[in-house]
Amino acid sequence: MRRLVILLALVGLPASGLAAGGPQDGAPAPPGASVAGAPAPGAATEAPDDEELSDEEFEDEARPLPAIATGPVARGRLVVSADVGWLRSGLRAALGFGGGLDIVFRGEAFLLYDGFSGQNGLEAALRYTFAREGRLRFGVEGGAGQVLASAEGMSGSFTTLRAEAVAGVVLGFTTVYGRAGIRGLRERAVVESRWGHDEELGVGVEARFGRVVGGAELSRWLRPELDGLTQWRLRVGYAL
């Protein structure tokens, strides 16, 4: 029951975000298209300092469309997001440096499974998006993190290193993407320490509604010597 309540609360977030963001007159213009009454693409090359941009102004600027799984984030801008899923749920913030480079912070927990009693991770990563114009998106990401694990009678932590590639196609106000990542896990035992690893393959879709981004992802967690686990996530984000 707790899982369903959390899911419904998350689903409610995009709706509230839409309501707060004002009326939505259909889908945002696709990349490169001009909107009647707005400057042509390329004319507005500098983002105004005004932080109170309307959703339409935000869309009309010559800046990357907001996204969560794919980059980039406009320079100096932030995309914050929350996701809930099985097995992992979490919070994430991506800050744009410009030139396709973002720094991404994320925190994750097994929220639906056992709240914060399982494995809670923090990670910082750099993401570089090679293809960031037109319909195609392609980027790579590398990060390091720490996972805090607690169990009956013990607790501990281990270091993770992660590398990931993301490829996406922008179709109007949606982006369909696939990603593949590998994660190294530092195993510390009394006699020796060594690196283990696992992999993750995922496909997902994101849709933009002004500054709000919603998405869903299905992934397979591949674990050497163990059966894989199918995971899913529902995401909602907001571009600041």
Strands 174-188 and 78-86: unpaired
Q: Provide the minimum distance between the beta carbon of 210 and other proteins in the complex, in angstroms, as a whole number.
A: 21
Residue with tokens 């593949």, as numbered in its chain: 180
Q: Which two tokens stand for residue 189?
A: 């035992």
Query: Using CA atoms, how far apart are residues 240 and 19, in angstroms rounded to an integer?
Result: 16
* Contact status: 113 vs other proteins (CB under 8 A): yes
Q: Which position among 18, 150, 174, 180 is part of the footprint of other proteins (CB under 8 A)?
A: 150
* Contact status: 118 vs other proteins (CB under 8 A): yes
Q: Which position among 8, 42, 46, 49 is part of the footprint of other proteins (CB under 8 A)?
A: 8
Q: Which stretch binds other proteins (CB under 8 A): 20-28, 101-109, 125-133, 221-229?
A: 221-229
Cα–Cα nearest to 239, from 37, 28, 32, 95: 95
> Which residues inside 16-75 make contact with other proteins, applying CB under 8 A?
none
- Map 183-227 to HEC letters: EEEEEECCCCEEEEEEEEEEEEEEEEECCEEEEEEEEEEEECCEE
* Contact status: 158 vs other proteins (CB under 8 A): yes
Nearer to other proteins, 31 or 118 (CB): 118
Q: Which stretch binds other proteins (CB under 8 A): 59-67, 72-80, 114-122, 125-133?
A: 114-122
Q: Which position among 19, 124, 203, 223 is part of the footprint of other proteins (CB under 8 A)?
A: 223
Helices (H), 99-203: 111-114
Residue with tokens 């004002």, as numbered in its chain: 22
* Contact status: 229 vs other proteins (CB under 8 A): yes
* Contact status: 188 vs other proteins (CB under 8 A): yes
Q: Provide the minimum distance between the beta carbon of 227 and other proteins in the complex, in angstroms, as a whole number.
A: 7
Q: What are 195's strand-pairing partners?
A: 186
Q: Which stretch binds other proteins (CB under 8 A): 14-22, 31-39, 152-160, 171-179?
A: 152-160
* Contact status: 111 vs other proteins (CB under 8 A): no
Residue with tokens 């009647």, as numbered in its chain: 36
Do residues 53 and 22 lie in contact, with contact meaning Cβ atoms separated by under 8 Å?
A: no
Q: Which residues of 42-52 are buried (b: 16+ CB within 10 A; e: fewer)?
A: eeeeebeeeee
Q: Which position among 112, 140, 176, 201 is part of the footprint of other proteins (CB under 8 A)?
A: 112
Residues engaged in binding other proteins (CB under 8 A): 3-4, 7-8, 11, 86-87, 110, 112-114, 117-119, 147, 149-154, 156, 158, 185, 187-192, 194, 196, 223, 225-227, 229-230, 232, 234
